[in-house]
Chains A and B, each alone.
Chain A
C-alpha cells in the first residue's frame, strides 16, 4: 500500500482530535481526543518505519520506531491514570466535568 493512505488517515485522526479538544467541554471527551492525536502520531511512526525497512539493506532497520511506539503507549497509559485521577478529583470538587468551570484563576 502506498504511504499516502497512512499519512491521510493519521492526518484525519489528528484533525478530529484537535477539533474535539477545541470544541468539546466535557473533560473525558477532551481526554479521548488527546489520545486520538497521540495515536495518530503513533500510526505515522509505524507506517514510516515499515517503509523504511522495505527499502533498507539492514536487517534491523525500521525496528527502532516500532519499539518507540511501545514506549509511547506505556507512557500514555501512565498519563491516562493520572489524567483520570484528576478528572475524578475535579468531579468531586465541582460536581461537573465541564472544563469551562475551571477558569477561576482568571481573576
Chain B
C-alpha cells in the first residue's frame, strides 16, 4: 500500500468531480466558470499523469487494489487500476489531448446557451472519466465499465444538438453499432470467466496455457468483434462518419483521438492472447487493411470537410489494426499516439475553419482561406504533411514502422498499405487545396465574416502542431539513430512475452538496411507525387455541376454500404418489427389479455342472475347443495 502510485485513483476521480459539478450546477454556473472547472480538472489529471508516467519510466509499475467490485463464491473481481508502461502512455494521450480540446471547446462552444455549455463540459468530463477507467482498469470488467461509458458519452455528444433529428439518428446509429461490438466483448469476458475464473490481466496472461487453441481463437475473435465496433472497422465502421454530426471538438476528442483507439488499446493490452491465435491475427490484418483501403477510397470523393477527416480516421485505424494483425504492437500504439496528435489537430483546424465560415462544412464553398486565417492555415498544413507521411513528421515514423513490419509478414499487406498511404496524401491535399488555396467560392456574407479564430482555439492548434511534428521522434528507427526507438524500449515489458513468442515461432529475419531505405523511399516518393498532383489540381478547383459517373459515383456514395446495410438488416428488421407489432402484439397478446377480461365480465354477469333476492330460492339452493353433499358422502 505504500506505493506512491496508489494515488492514481485521483486521475479518473477529478474528471468525475468536474462532471458532477458541471452536470448538477449547469443552471447556476456561468460559462466562464463551467469552462474553467471542466478544463482545470483535466489539467490536474494531466499533471498527475505526468507524475505517474515519470514513476513508470523509472521502473515503478503497480496494480492498485481499492475494493472488491464483485465478490461471489468462485468469482472475485476487484476494483483495480493497473499502472504500467502501456496505460501510463494512454493516460498522457487521453488527458493531454483531452485538456487541449477542453480549452478549444471553451471558445468553440461559446455561442451555446449557458446551461447547454455546462452540459457539454459535463459530458466531456464524463467521457474523460470513462476513458480513464478504460485504460486504467486492472481487469476486463473495469475496462468494460469504461468501454460502455465512452459509448454512452459518444451517444450523448453526437446527439448534443438533439433538436435536429438527423443528429439523433446518427447518435442512435453509433450507439447500436457499438452495442453490437460490446456484445462480442462481453461474450469474450464470459468465456474467460468460464475457463479461467478470473478477469485480471495478470491472472489471465499467466494462466494462458490452461486455454486450448480453440478457446484462445474464440476469445480473441470475440474481443476483436468488440474492437471493430468501438474502433470503426469493417463491418461496423459506418457509424463513425455519421458521428460527425456532433460538435467538432467531440469529433476531435472522441471520434479521432481517444475513444476509437480503445479497441487498439484493448488488443495491445491482451497482446499475448492475440499472438497465440494466428488465425485471429490474420483476420485482424485483413480486416484492418480492407478498412484502410475502402475508407481511403471513400475519402477521395467526399465534399464535407469533416466527412473526409472521418473516413481518414477510419483508414488510419485500419492501419493500426494492420499493425496489430502482423504483431507490431509497438507500431500500433505508436501510431495511436501520433494519430491522436495530428488527427486532433486536423479536426480542430477544420473546426476553426467551420467556425470562421459560420457553420459551412462543404469544401466546394470554401477556398482561399489561406490569407484570412494564417495560424489555422499553417497548423493545418503541418497536420496534412504529417498524415501524408512526410519525413520528419510524426506519422512518417509510425506509418513506416507499421509498413516495414507488414512487409516482413506479407508483401501484399505492404503493397496495399502503401497504396493507401498514397491515397491518404492525395485526399488530404485535395482537402487542403480546396479549403485554403485558390479563390473563395462562398457567399459575400461569408467572405465578409472570415476571421482568424481567438487564441483559445489557435493555442491548442499550435501545441498540437508542434506535437505532430516532433511526436514521432520518440520512435526513430534503428537505421537512423542507434537506440532511437525509445518507445519500443519503453513498452518492452508489456509486449515482451509476445515478442519472445513471435521470435520463437518463426525466425524473425531482420530487414537489411537497404531494403528498409527502399521501402521508405517508395512510400515517401509515392506520397509526394500524390501530394503535388493533388496540390496542383485542387488549388485551381472550380465549382462544377457535372454529375459523377462510373466508379467515381460509387465512391462518392461510399460504396453504397449504408444502402446495403439498410436493405439487408434495417429493412428486414423493420418489417419483422411491424409484423410483431400488428400481428403478435395487437392480435395475439392484446387479444388474450382483453379476452380474459371479457370472459370474467361475461361470467360474472351470468352468475349475478342467481341472486334473485327471494329467500326461499336461497333456501332451495342450500337444501339442494346439502343433499348433493349427502349423496357424495354416501355413494362415493
Contact = CB atoms under 8 A, between A and B. Distances in A.
Interface of A: 18, 21-23, 25, 99-100, 102-106
B619 interface: yes
A36 to B, nearest CB: 14
A72 to B, nearest CB: 20
Contacts of A104: 613
Contacts of B611: 106
B7 interface: no
The 9 A-B pairs of least Cβ separation, nearest first, read: A106-B613, A103-B613, A99-B615, A22-B616, A22-B619, A22-B620, A21-B619, A18-B623, A103-B614
Contacts of A100: 614-616
B611 to A, nearest CB: 7
B149 to A, nearest CB: 66
Interface in B608-628: 611-616, 619-620, 623
A40 B534 CA distance: 120
Contact of A103 (B612, B619, B620): B612
Nearest to A25: B616
Nearest to A23: B616
Nearest to B615: A99
Interface residues of B, number: 9
Contact of A105 (B613, B619, B620): B613
Contacts of A99: 615-616
B612 A106 contact: yes
Contacts of A22: 616, 619-620, 623
A102 B613 CA distance: 8
Given A99-B616, A100-B615, A103-B612, 20 more contacts: A18-B623, A21-B616, A21-B619, A22-B616, A22-B619, A22-B620, A22-B623, A23-B616, A25-B616, A99-B615, A100-B614, A100-B616, A102-B615, A103-B613, A103-B614, A103-B615, A104-B613, A105-B613, A106-B612, A106-B613
A26 to B, nearest CB: 12
Contacts of B615: 99-100, 102-103
Contacts of B619: 21-22
A99 B613 CA distance: 10
A16 to B, nearest CB: 13
Contacts of A25: 616
Nearest to A100: B614
Nearest to A19: B623
A31 B131 CA distance: 89
Nearest to A24: B616
Contacts of B623: 18, 22
B622 to A, nearest CB: 10
A49 to B, nearest CB: 23
14 contacts: A18-B623, A21-B616, A22-B619, A22-B620, A22-B623, A23-B616, A99-B615, A99-B616, A100-B615, A100-B616, A103-B612, A104-B613, A105-B613, A106-B613
B620 to A, nearest CB: 6
B634 to A, nearest CB: 14
A6 B611 CA distance: 38
Nearest to A107: B613
Contacts of B613: 103-106
A29 B616 CA distance: 13
A27 B619 CA distance: 14
B521 to A, nearest CB: 105
A5 B620 CA distance: 27
A102 B616 CA distance: 11
A21 B616 CA distance: 7
A35 B451 CA distance: 112
Contacts of B612: 103, 106
A39 B616 CA distance: 21
Nearest to A106: B613
Interface in B592-614: 611-614
A101 B130 CA distance: 81
A100 to B, nearest CB: 7
B261 to A, nearest CB: 79
Contacts of A105: 613
B350 to A, nearest CB: 81
A84 to B, nearest CB: 17
B40 to A, nearest CB: 78
Nearest to A18: B623
A102 B618 CA distance: 13
B501 to A, nearest CB: 91
A22 B620 CA distance: 6
A102 to B, nearest CB: 7
A87 to B, nearest CB: 13
A104 to B, nearest CB: 8
A103 B611 CA distance: 10
Contacts of A102: 615
A27 to B, nearest CB: 10
B369 to A, nearest CB: 89
Nearest to A103: B613
A25 B619 CA distance: 12
Residue in A21, A25, A99, A102 with the greatest tally of chain B CB atoms within 10 Å: A21
A12 to B, nearest CB: 16
B627 to A, nearest CB: 10
A86 B613 CA distance: 18
Residue in A18, A23, A102 with the greatest tally of chain B CB atoms within 10 Å: A18
B606 to A, nearest CB: 17
Contacts of A21: 616, 619
A103 B623 CA distance: 20
B41 to A, nearest CB: 75
Nearest to B617: A22
Contacts of B620: 22
A18 B611 CA distance: 21
B386 to A, nearest CB: 92
A103 B619 CA distance: 14
